[in-house]
Amino acid sequence: MAETTYTEDNIRSLDWKEHIRMRPGMYIGKLGDGSSPDDGIYILLKEVIDNSIDEYVMGHGRQIDVVIEDGTVRIRDYGRGIPLGKVVDVVSKINTGGKYDSKAFKKAVGLNGVGLKATNALSNDFQVYAVREGKLKQADFSKGDLVKDHRATKTEEKNGTFVSFVPDNSIFKKYRFRNDFVENQLWNYAYLNAGLKINFNGKTLVSKNGLRDLLERKTNVEQLRYDIIHLKDDDIEVAITHGNAYGENYFSFVNGQFTTQGGTHLNAFRQALVETIQKHYNKNYDRKDILASVIAAIAIKVEEPVFESQTKTKLGSTDMGPQGPTVQTFLRNFLMEKLDNFLHKNATIAQALEKRIKQSERERKEIAGIKKLANQRAKKANLHNKKLRDCRVHFSDNAKSKDEETRLATTIFITEGDSASGSITVARDVQTQAVFSLRGKPLNCFGLTKKVVYENEEFNLLQHALNIEDDVDEIRYNRVVIATDADVDGMHIRLLLLTFFLQFFPDMVEKGHLYILETPLFRVRDKQKTYYCYSEEEKQGAIEKLRGKAEITRFKGLGEISPGEFKDFIGDNIRLEPVVMAANTNIDDLLSYYMGKNTPSRQNFIIDNLRVERDEEEEVVAV
């Protein structure tokens, strides 16, 4: 083994932008291409808007304009504007910003002065200008380097700050902003800041009732078991109800930050909710029965919050501030007083809430015996050797002991058939990618109770593999990918799996863990070049690039794709389509339409959209 030298020449000092560009994951989490709501380009957007939100919270500016067009983001607020002499420093010098002054930004979203700098360093083009008292100061950057420092000029524009950026496509490869992700992100800002007007690409987003509006938009009101309970006080706002779906569904925020992974505040809220309900009804209801089917939103404001990562998706603080109570005590005192008083004053809602708890209790006891036998079967099946080819890193691992970007990359492919699962198993990254092999088509579980999850061997083994039986937050893989053939049978299996997850684990889908693997339909190649095409349009484009002289292969199943070729599809070039539930999605109606009895409305849809194509072997294909 060659001897490695270690001298002064091996020591390097990176400036701020070099370090951000070399290790972007430390600052914005995973990179991605925009196909997932937690991809880096949305973090860049968030870092800019957070500053505008902080201005609004401090009482300056009631409107934010956001325009995203052709990959360029433009954001304009009407706050006080960055002090003109510090415009360059605020976006290009680490540890520079007004948020270190606790009097000016006591409970701000961003506290470390890195956010704007990260957006600047990771953008091909970055422009900022501030307007204060009739003067405008502008600076232009590229990849963190100052391109032009403009002189201050007179202007009639209103006070505020403008930021424009274009993400660096050498870092965010083939990125694309999805308007539905951006709009959902902006709606969260609107809910948390009632009265704030956000204009996004010509659409106005504004909320009058805060978190109550959030729950009404995120759920189907007709499916709720009782009217939404909406409670507010200094530094806290909550909205609570119960629905019919399985699982728990939470939206948690700290200082305006959407904490998708929860944290100490969400854990404290759940515990305080259980204790308050037990005390109110003076009954020792099981924790699981109280929390089953709960839908809730919680937003708190904490002084100097500590998050478990730069992307601020999980709160680590145990106290409300240096001089404040613990988060647990704060939440318990609030719910014990406000929620208990509300239930005493609203008997109808109190009765409906208890009725839902008792229903969950009956259902839990009904499957208790079956569950025990199912767990024994799962152990006998030797899950981790026969059905599951596991990976080495898991999403449920302690965030402090594993690199966050690696945890976010953890993926499990759900396949059907030995050939497909075998190819993916050989081609996968064993660090972060696992494979679960189905045996035949799953059961159509629409309309069935959760009892079937334990009685059906495939479903039972699948939920054990994912570790979602008791708590979806303990899911072992960040991305659960349905990988089926691009034909009628593959589509049927996909729908059956979607039904399973939507029926019994909707919160898993809500939290953005479910994806569909896009696999190529064609391979177009000559002796020098190979193109994998995902549509007829891409195929024609590849043929033109090869000047019409090409060998064309139509892939009819995953089993036809060799392990070597699979490396191109499930590595850096993986194409995943996230399963996204639109606002106000009625899961029961959705599943009833697609997976229920063959209703006239579905028959008419099929007839109206039926077309006939011929593949390259002249087979008639109904689409």
SS3 363: helix
What is the pLDDT, as a whole number, of residue 99? 52
My answer on whether 222 and 346 are in the same domain is yes
On whether both 392 and 494 belong to a single domain, the answer is: yes
For residue 423, what pLDDT is reported? Answer: 82
| pLDDT number for residue 72 | 94
Domain final residue pick, 205, 233, 252: 205
Residue 373 is assigned to a structural domain of this protein: no
Question: Does one domain contain both 568 and 592?
Answer: no
* Residue 222, domain CATH: 3.30.230.10
Shared-domain flag, residues 343 and 454: no
Same domain, 189 and 334: no
CATH code of 183's domain: 3.30.565.10
Contact present, 127 and 142 (Cβ < 8 Å): no
Q: Both 160 and 196 in a single domain? A: yes
Tell me if 371 is assigned to some domain: no
**Together in a domain, 168 and 231:** no
User: What pLDDT does residue 190 have?
Assistant: 94
Q: What pLDDT, on the 0 to 100 scale, is given for residue 599?
A: 64
Amino acid letter for position 365: K
Burial letters for 421-432: b for 16+ Cβ neighbours within 10 Å, e otherwise?
bbbbbebbbeeb
* Residue partners of 512: CB distance under 8 A and separation at least 6: 36, 37, 38, 260, 578, 580
In this structure, are 228 and 307 located in the same domain? yes
Residue 426 covered by a domain = yes
Around 383, how many Cα atoms within 13 Å sit in the side-chain half-sphere?
Answer: 20
Specify the pLDDT at position 96.
Answer: 52
> What's the average pLDDT block by block, 10 residues per block, for the chain (623 residues)?
52 66 78 83 91 88 94 94 89 62 52 73 93 93 92 93 93 88 92 93 94 87 87 92 86 86 88 95 93 92 76 75 82 93 95 94 83 70 68 77 76 84 85 89 84 86 88 89 84 89 87 88 86 87 86 80 76 80 65 68 62 42 34
198 and 326 fall within a common domain: no
* Residue 325: inside a domain: yes
Please report, for residues 328, 471, 538, the alpha-carbon distance to residue 535 in angstroms, rounded to integers and kept in the order given: 53, 38, 5
Residue 145 lies in a domain: yes
391 and 487, same domain (yes or no): yes
Contact 52, 197 (CB under 8 A): no
The domain of 109 spans 16-205
489 assigned to some structural domain: yes
CATH number at residue 515: 3.40.50.670
Chosen domain end from 322, 337, 364: 364
Q: Does residue 8 lie in a domain region?
A: no
Amino acid code (one letter) for 488: V
Contacts of 442 (CB under 8 A, 6+ apart): 456, 458, 459, 493, 496, 497, 500
The helices-and-strands tally (H runs, E runs) of the chain is 22, 25
Residues 286 and 402 reside in one and the same domain:
no
Do 117 and 134 have their domain in common? yes
Residue 5 lies in a domain: no
Number of compact structural domains in the chain: 5
